[in-house]
């Protein structure tokens, strides 16, 4: 790469001729940065290391380049590359400080977003929902450092460069996935999720997206604004800013209990079915009066929504379907306001 060789030569020649700071360190920093962008990670380590051979005014920046080159070299050794596209998740509200947020308020949102990314890769790649755990083999989610002001992290995707997995066709691009997620989350802006019916045809994927989205949107008290912003290699940006909407928490797509009149809400501790031979699609909630409520859980809700809440206090919205109760929504009881 001509630009890399020219910048590298300039750095070494300047060091021989003069070596005055900060010009010397700046030239090595520039050359190492170009090497990283070109995927020449070993060369970047060599250049940044040469820049650190003498103590200059930008030591911390050169150290950061060394760490970045080592990180990317490790990714490549594991047959992965970090996507250029970014999805920024920002939180704001009375519980959000200058670069700080209660762990639980952040953790369940980033977990939901990570699952949403994997599921969207699979959906766009034509994988049946029942098989969509396959993306765990090919898609890894990485977080960038939090940013002060509100609380924001950059989410990027680690993709396999080459794969022997027959289902990983490589047709789906990260930019397409991130754009699709922002489009889907726009359905929560006015609390009317009917827009998901046109965006996501498959009922299982649609319901899964809706429930994961409910975990991401504001809780209405501690976190009052959630922003998702995607940016691509071509600098194209797409943004959705979600504000308080309790209506969204109780609105559902038309594919399930909309036309059923018998509904209930239970607060209690989520347990597994008590009988060993019970269908694995059933769970139980032990309410505050000591009564067990047996609830059937659809496949699209079990792994991503329900299982992570095991043994936790939850609020479950249920509806009667035939002879049993069916789960509509479930969330941690503390965040259900």
Report pLDDT for 260. Answer: 44
- Residues 274, 197 share a domain: no
C-alpha closest to that of 298 among 252, 336, 239, 249: 252
**Structural domain includes residue 255:** no
Q: Reply yes or no: is the peptide bond before residue 133 cis, omega within 30 of 0.
A: no
Could you count the other beta carbons within 10 Å of the beta carbon of residue 325? Answer: 21
Whole-angstrom distance, CA of residue 309 vs CA of residue 303: 10
Q: What are the phi and psi torsion angles at 314 (to 5°)?
A: -130, 165
**Structural domain includes residue 270:** yes
- Residues 212, 100 share a domain: yes
Q: Is the whole model's pTM more than 0.85, yes or no? A: no
Of 77, 106, 140, the residue that ends a domain is 77
List pLDDT tens digits, range 4-26.
999 999 999 999 999 899 999 99
Q: Which residue has the higher pLDDT, 82 or 131?
A: 82
- Residues 296, 174 share a domain: no
Of 189, 221, 250, the residue that ends a domain is 250
Distances (CA, A) of 314 to 214, 244, 247, 263: 14, 21, 19, 17
- Residues 197, 52 share a domain: no
Average pLDDT over the chain reads 85
Which pair of structure tokens corresponds to residue 262?
């018998």
List pLDDT tens digits, range 129-171.
987 665 667 788 999 887 766 789 999 998 776 554 444 445 6
Of 193, 218, 250, the residue that ends a domain is 250
- Residues 301, 172 share a domain: no
Whole-angstrom distance, CA of residue 269 vs CA of residue 304: 18
- CA geometry: angle at 122 spanning 119 and 126, to 5°? 135
Give yes or no for residue 337 having a pLDDT over 90. Answer: no
* Out of 90-94, 136-140, 217-221, 297-301, least confident range: 136-140
- Residues 309, 214 share a domain: no
- Sign, CA torsion 46/52/53/56: positive
- Residues 195, 90 share a domain: yes
- Residues 119, 200 share a domain: yes
- Residues 309, 270 share a domain: yes
Nearby residues of 71 by Cβ (< 8 Å), 6 or more positions away: none
Domain with residue 306: its CATH number is: 2.40.50.140
**Structural domain includes residue 63:** yes
Domain with residue 69: its CATH number is: 1.25.40
Whole-angstrom distance, CA of residue 107 vs CA of residue 267: 22
Range of the domain at 28: 2-77
Q: What are the phi and psi torsion angles at 244 (to 5°)?
A: -55, 130
Whole-angstrom distance, CA of residue 273 vs CA of residue 154: 39
Which pair of structure tokens corresponds to residue 140?
């890894």
Q: How many CA atoms does the CB half-sphere of 295 hold within 13 Å?
A: 34
Report pLDDT for 34. Answer: 97
β-strand partners of 242: 226
- Residues 43, 139 share a domain: no
List pLDDT tens digits, range 92-102.
989 888 888 99
- Residues 114, 25 share a domain: no
List pLDDT tens digits, range 160-210.
765 544 444 456 889 999 999 999 999 888 777 888 988 999 999 999 999
Tell me the DSSP string of 69-138.
Answer: HHHHHHHHHTTEEE-S-EEEEEEESTT--SS---HHHHHHHHHHHHHHHHHHHHHHTT--GGGGGGHHHH
The secondary element (H helix, E strand) that includes residue 225 is strand 225-231
- Residues 170, 139 share a domain: yes
Number of domains present in the structure of the chain: 3
Per-residue H/E/C for 181-215: HHHHHHHHCCCCCCHHHHHCCCHHHHHHHHHHHHH
Q: What is the mean pLDDT of residues 290-309?
A: 92
Q: What is the mean pLDDT of residues 308-326?
A: 91
Report pLDDT for 120. Answer: 95
CB 231 within 8 A of CB 222: no
Whole-angstrom distance, CA of residue 238 vs CA of residue 236: 7
Whole-angstrom distance, CA of residue 120 vs CA of residue 185: 12
């Amino acid at each position: 790469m001509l630009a890399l060789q020219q910048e590298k030569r300039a750095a070494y020649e300047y060091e021989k001729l003069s070596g005055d700071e900060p010009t010397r360190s700046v030239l090595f920093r520039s050359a190492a940065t170009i090497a990283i962008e070109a995927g020449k990670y070993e060369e970047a380590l060599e250049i940044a290391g040469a820049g650190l051979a003498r103590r200059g005014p930008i030591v911390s920046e050169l150290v950061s380049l060394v760490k970045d080159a080592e990180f990317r070299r490790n990714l490549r050794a594991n047959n992965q590359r970090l996507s250029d596209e970014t999805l920024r998740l920002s939180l704001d509200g009375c519980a959000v400080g200058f670069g700080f947020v209660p762990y639980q308020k952040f953790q369940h949102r980033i977990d939901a977003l990570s699952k949403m990314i994997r599921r969207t890769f699979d959906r766009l790649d034509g994988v049946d929902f029942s098989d969509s755990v396959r993306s765990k083999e090919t898609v890894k989610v990485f977080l960038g450092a939090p940013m002060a002001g509100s609380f924001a992290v950059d989410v990027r995707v680690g993709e396999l460069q080459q794969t022997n997995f027959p289902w990983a066709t490589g047709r789906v691009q990260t930019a397409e996935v991130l754009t699709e997620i922002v489009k889907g989350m726009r359905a929560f802006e006015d609390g009317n999720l009917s827009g998901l019916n046109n965006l996501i045809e498959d009922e299982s994927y649609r319901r899964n997206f809706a429930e994961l989205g409910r975990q991401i949107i504001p809780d209405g008290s501690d976190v009052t604004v959630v922003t998702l912003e995607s940016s691509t290699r071509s600098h194209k940006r797409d943004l959705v800013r979600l504000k308080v909407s309790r209506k969204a928490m109780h609105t559902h797509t038309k594919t399930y209990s909309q036309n059923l009149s018998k509904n209930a809400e239970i607060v209690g501790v989520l347990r597994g079915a008590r009988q060993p031979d019970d269908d694995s699609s059933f769970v139980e909630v032990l309410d505050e009066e000591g009564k067990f409520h047996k609830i059937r859980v659809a496949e699209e809700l079990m792994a991503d929504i329900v299982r992570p809440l095991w043994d936790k206090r939850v609020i479950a919205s249920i509806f009667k379907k035939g002879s049993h109760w069916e789960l509509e929504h479930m969330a941690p009881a503390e965040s259900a306001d």
